[in-house]
Amino acid sequence: MNWSKSGAALLLASLAACGGADSVSMTDGGRSTDDGSDPDRGSATDGMGSTDGGSTVDSGSMADSESPTDSGSKTDSASMNDSSTAHDSSTANDGSTANDSSTANDSATANDSSTANDSGNANDSGSGTDSGSKMDSGTDSGTTSPQAVNLGTAGNYVILAKAGISTVPTSAITGNLGVSPAAATAITGFSLILDATTVFSTSSQVIGKVYAPGYGAPTPTNLTTAVGDMQAAFTDAAGRAPTKVPELGSGTIGGMTLTTGVYKWSSGLLIPTNITLTGSATDVWIFQIAQNLTVSNGTSIVLVGGAVPKNVFWQVSGSTTLGTTVHFEGVVLDQTAIALGTGASVTGRLLAQTAVTIESSTIVQPAQ
Indicate the pTM of the whole model: 0.64
Output phi, psi for 194, to 5 deg.
-70, 130
In this predicted structure, what is the pLDDT of residue 368? 83
pLDDT value for 201:
98
Beta bridge pairs of residue 351: 160, 333
Alpha carbon separation from 277 to 37, 268, 306 (Å, rounded): 80, 19, 10
Q: What local confidence, expressed as pLDDT, does residue 143 receive? A: 56
- Structure confidence by residue, pLDDT tens digits, 163-205: 999 999 999 999 999 999 999 999 999 999 999 999 999 999 9
The secondary structure of 320-351 as a DSSP string is EEE-TT-EEEEEEEESS-EEE-TT-EEEEEEE
Q: What local confidence, expressed as pLDDT, does residue 94 receive? A: 39
Predicted local confidence at residue 79, as pLDDT: 36
User: For 270-299, how does the pLDDT look when each residue is reduced to its tens digit (9 = 90+)?
Assistant: 999 999 999 999 999 999 999 999 999 999
What ranges do the domains of the chain cover?
Answer: 2-119, 152-364
* pLDDT of res. 214: 97
Q: How many residues does the chain have?
A: 368
* Residue with the larger pLDDT of the pair 280 and 102: 280
pLDDT digits (tens, 9 = 90+) for 195-236: 999 999 999 999 999 999 999 999 999 999 999 999 999 999
- Of 3, 4, 297, 352, the residue nearest 178 (C-alpha): 352
| Residue 365 burial (10 A CB sphere; 0-12, 13-18, 19+) | buried
- Please tell me the distance from the alpha carbon of residue 230 to that of residue 219, in angstroms, as a whole number: 16
| Mean per-residue pLDDT, 105-122 | 38
